[in-house]
Amino acid sequence: MLEQLGKELALRFTVGGVEIAFNLVVVAVAVAVGGILLATASWLTRGLPRDPDAPLTRRAAVLVTVVDVFQNHLLGGVSPRLARQLLPFVATLFFYVLLCNWVGILPLPYIVSPTQDLNVTLGLAFLVYGLTHYYGIRSKGIARHLKGYLEPFPFLLPLNVVGDLGRTLSHGFRLFGNILGGALLTTVAPVVAMQIASLIPAVGVVLGWGARVPLMLLLNAWFGLLMGAIQALVFALLAVAYIQVTAD
Amino acid sequence: MEGEALVAAAKYLAAGICMGIGAIGPGVGEGIIGAHALDAMARQPEMANSLLRTMVIADAIAETTGIYSLVVAIVLIFVV
């Protein structure tokens, strides 16, 4: 049960003396999650009424609710112009991370959350980092955006640059650490509980197996569903906050 | 006990200490943040939405050092 922890199915090849490894499971699941999101989105937007005053169909009502929630809660503190530009990206980021986190609770062999791979989360974090510069330059112009690094005092420039990068790294590490920690605990805790229960004479083994299933369900619900949703929310919220700080 | 057994013992001990001490700071910090956010929400319930958003961001930032120690502990156990 525990011997597969920390192992991975990897595709390795060497390019110019540098070994590159792709974790095939993570790549496949990450692409599949993207595909599921695309399919769901195209199904939801199919047959939308062209006329904005037409009575809402059921799918249109779902979409309106989602957009409303994102506009009022996630993007509530952002200026309306920026919120309009950010809404599609932030909604995509939230649902992608959410689904990536939730994939991990499927009881299939080898299927893990892509977000418990540092490459995925750091990739998403650097995507957000790039977008902070894009929106910063777009709303303030390149000169004023670069001048922002010299504030409040010019000699604080290295501190600002390091702080920027540290912020991005911790953005990626936070999602990675939370999801990986939850996944490890979900795998390890039932096994450890069973070993502890088997120390009790006579009824120990039965007790262990009896406690194992509810414990696994509880851990999956807590760390998989609840923590997955909270971390996806935090990831999207922080992305909005970082972009907003540079753009204003 | 010598050689590899000593290294294994040291790395498990180090991971435990790292996570144990590293969890104190974020725990205290998130407690303070949550308490003050609840205080503010009880005072002004109509601000609850924006307070919750700010609280989650502040929680996430307070949690950062805990996540760093978790990463160090995981690296100690699985990589070293």
Residue A9 has pLDDT above 70, yes or no: no
| Residue A133: Cβ within 10 Å count | 15
Residue A2 is assigned to a structural domain of this protein: no
**Coil/strand/helix, residue A20:** strand
Given CB atoms, is A29 within the 8 Å cutoff of chain B? no
Whether A181 sits inside 8 A of B74 (CB atoms) is yes
Whether A174 sits inside 8 A of B64 (CB atoms) is yes
Per-residue pLDDT, averaged over B37-63, amounts to 89
Read off the pTM.
0.86
Q: Which residues contact A49 (CB under 8 A, 6 or more apart)?
A: A57, A60
Confidence of residue A201 (pLDDT cuts 50, 70, 90): confident
How many cross-chain Cβ pairs, A to B, lie less than 8 Å apart?
46
Torsion angle of the four alpha carbons A164, A165, A170, A173, in this order, in degrees rounded to the nearest 10: 150
pLDDT at residue A131, rounded to an integer: 94
User: A6: distance to nearest CA of chain B, Å?
Assistant: 6
Q: Which two tokens stand for residue A127?
A: 């995507």
Q: Which residue has the tokens 């496949």?
A: A28
CA distance B57 to B63: 10
Q: Which residues contact A79 (CB under 8 A, 6 or more apart)?
A: A248
Q: Which residue has the tokens 């006579």?
A: A202
Q: Which two tokens stand for residue B51?
A: 């307070």
Q: Which site among A3, A73, A90, A170 would you substitute to test the B interface, given the most B Cβ atoms closer than 10 Å to its Cβ?
A: A170
Structural domains of chain A, count: 1
Cβ neighbours of A6 in B, within 8 Å? 78
Residue A140 is assigned to a structural domain of this protein: yes
Instruction: Sort residue A12 into left (φ over 0), alpha (ψ -120 to 50) or beta.
Output: beta
CATH of B26-80, one of 3.40.50.2300, 2.60.40.10, 1.20.20.10, 3.90.79.10: 1.20.20.10
Q: Which residue has the tokens 């972009």?
A: A243
Residue A44 is assigned to a structural domain of this protein: yes
Q: Which one of A177, A230, A237 has the shortest CB-CB distance to B67?
A: A177
Residue A204 has pLDDT above 50, yes or no: yes
Confidence of residue A1 (pLDDT cuts 50, 70, 90): very low
pLDDT at residue A110, rounded to an integer: 77
Domain ranges for chain B, please list them: 26-80
pLDDT at residue A72, rounded to an integer: 85
Please give the mean pLDDT across all residues of chain B: 90
Q: Which two tokens stand for residue A134?
A: 């894009």
pLDDT per residue as tens digits for the range B6-39: 989 999 999 999 999 999 999 999 999 999 999 9
Cβ neighbours of A240 in B, within 8 Å? none
Per-residue pLDDT, averaged over B54-62, amounts to 86
Residue A75 is assigned to a structural domain of this protein: yes
pLDDT per residue as tens digits for the range A75-97: 877 888 888 889 999 999 999 99
Q: Which residue has the tokens 């992305």?
A: A239
CA distance A52 to A64: 12
Residue A20 is assigned to a structural domain of this protein: yes
Given CB atoms, is A90 within the 8 Å cutoff of chain B? no
Domain carrying residue A150: 10-247
Residue A8 has pLDDT above 80, yes or no: no
Q: Of A130, A138, A211, A223, nearest to A178 (Cα)?
A: A223
pLDDT, greater one: A129 or A57: A129
pLDDT at residue B35, rounded to an integer: 96
Which percentage of chain B shows pLDDT scores above 70?
99
Which percentage of chain A shows pLDDT scores above 70?
96
Whether residue A104 contacts residue A112, with contact meaning beta carbons closer than 8 Å, is answered with yes
Residue A170 has pLDDT above 50, yes or no: yes
Which DSSP symbol is given to A226?
I
Please give the mean pLDDT across all residues of chain A: 86
Element spanning B79, H or E: none
Residue A181 is assigned to a structural domain of this protein: yes
Whether B74 sits inside 8 A of A184 (CB atoms) is yes
Residue A3 is assigned to a structural domain of this protein: no
Confidence of residue A166 (pLDDT cuts 50, 70, 90): confident
Residue A80 is assigned to a structural domain of this protein: yes
CB contact residues (below 8 A), chain B span 17-76, against chain A: 49-50, 53, 56-57, 59-60, 63-64, 67-68, 70-71, 74
Whether residue A217 contacts residue A107, with contact meaning beta carbons closer than 8 Å, is answered with no
pLDDT at residue A32, rounded to an integer: 93
User: B36: distance to nearest CA of chain A, Å?
Assistant: 19
Given CB atoms, is B80 within the 8 Å cutoff of chain A? no
Q: Which two tokens stand for residue B60?
A: 């996430």
CA Rg, chain B, in Å? 18
Residue A121 has pLDDT above 90, yes or no: yes
Residue A173 has pLDDT above 50, yes or no: yes
Q: Which two tokens stand for residue A78?
A: 């952002």
